[in-house]
Structure 1
């Protein structure tokens, strides 16, 4: 799929990677870019149209999809991350429910709401923002990693179902990004602008998956080895 002339909808597009996706799409010739945000009145970026959206609220998602019937590229970027004391944390179930509401159910809900529009406007595409945590679950990110693994599974199932309808699906895996969400974490981070550019280049080249940094490439390459990263992780923290 080519971005020139595309109509793009980015969830969680008010800052960070989501905003980087929106701006990169414009650079590549998108004719219109929507960003789904909770407070549209607080968003003011030239040539980008804010749409009220809370991916955890079914009615909000349906309203956004109904208002944007010209979309042919959906970027499921909205996500949250919370730290815990690991797999034995007594609060892990409550935390998992909060994280899954956005990172998994939000992706499913938004994708389903836009599916008919994307089919009608095909050729079209969906980009799901995943993580290197899809394959390596640090104890402090146990709930977050589980949500991204679930989203990866959904992405792979979705791709098989939508391909005959002219809807491509790209999974983006990346480690820590230099955004507000990771401001207090002292680890190597990728520039969200570079990641958005890499993802959209991969989409235009017809790829199904993009590994946006060297660490993620290393993790993926280890999965079938005798010492996979999910058993022997080289964690930076």
Structure 2
């Protein structure tokens, strides 16, 4: 699917990776770009239409889907994270419920709301922003990792379900991205503009998945190994 002349709706697009998706869509000639965000106040990007949406609130999702009924590319980017002590931490259940509500159920809710809109278009696609954390043990990110693993599984089911109905589904896997969300975390980070360019190129090429940085590519390559990366991560990860 080509971004040129497409109408794109992006959740979590007020900053970071979501805003990079919006700006690159504009650069590539998208016909219209909807930037979904919880608070549209102060957002001012030429050629990008801010739309209020809270992916944990069905009423706001329904309103956004009705407003953006011309959308033919949906990008589920909105996500949250939190650090905990580990998988047995006293707050693991509370944090998991909160993070799943955005990172997993949010993807489900928004995709359901845009289903008919996408099915009515001759060319349509969905990009789900996932993570290398589904293959990388990081105990302090246990709720986040579980939510992204669920979103990855959902993406795979969704892709299979929509394939015969003409909707392309692309899963974006990437590690830490250099945005406001990761400020203060001293780890290698991917450039958001580079991640977005790779993702749109993969969409145009008809791909189903994109590993958008070296670490993620390495992790994915270990899945068939006797000791895969989710048991013993490769050195440097």
1:139-218 alignment to 2 at 5 Å? 139-218=139-218
Please give the residue correspondences for 1:1-237 in structure 2 after superposition, counting only pairs within 5 Å: 1-234=1-234
Per-residue Cα deviation, 1:193-221 (whole angstroms, up to 9, x for no partner): 11011000000000000000000000000
Query: In the aligned structure 2, how far is the partner of 1:46 from the partner of 1:132?
Result: 33
RMSD: 1.0
Q: How many residues align?
A: 237
Secondary structure of the 2:172 match is strand
Instruction: Return the alpha-carbon distance in structure 2 between the equivalents of residues 158 and 133 of structure 1.
Output: 20
Distance 2:10 2:67 in 1: 14
2:104/2:150 contact within 8 Å kept: yes
Displacement of 1:236: 5.6
> Given that residues 137 and 231 in structure 2 are in contact (C-alpha distance below 8 angstroms), is that contact kept between their aligned partners in structure 1?
no
* TM score, norm. by length of structure 1: 0.98
- Contact kept in structure 2, 1:187 and 1:236, CA below 8 Å: no
Deviations 1:97-135 (CA, angstroms, capped at 9, x unpaired): 110000000000000000100010131000000000111
The normalised TM-score by structure 2 is 0.98
Show structure 2 runs of 5+ residues with no match: none
Is this contact kept in 1: 2:11–2:78, CA < 8 A? yes
Contact 1:138/1:235, CA 8 A, preserved across alignment = no
Supply the distance in 2 between the matched residues of 1:161 and 1:3 (Cα, whole angstroms). 23
SS at match of 1:22: helix
Tell me how far apart the structure 1 counterparts of residues 176 and 54 of structure 2 sit (CA, whole Å): 24
Specify the SS of the correspondent of 1:41: coil
Distance in structure 2 (CA, Å) of the matches to 1:82 and 1:107: 18
Q: CA deviation at 1:234?
A: 4.0
**Equivalent position SS for 1:42:** coil
For the Cα contact (< 8 Å) 2:37–2:54, is it kept in 1?
Answer: yes
User: Equivalent residue of 1:165, what SS?
Assistant: coil
Q: 2:204, 2:72 → 1: CA distance?
A: 13
8 Å contact from structure 1 (residues 75, 127) kept in 2: yes
Q: Distance in 2 between matches of 1:221 and 1:72?
A: 32
CA distance in 1, matches of 2:235, 2:127: 27
* Structure 1 runs of 4+ with >3 Å offset: 234-237
**CA distance in 2 between partners of 1:78 and 1:122 (Å):** 26
Structure 1, unaligned stretches of length 5 or more? Answer: none
Deviation at 1:137, TM superposition (A): 2.8
Which deviates further from its counterpart, 209-218 or 131-140? 131-140
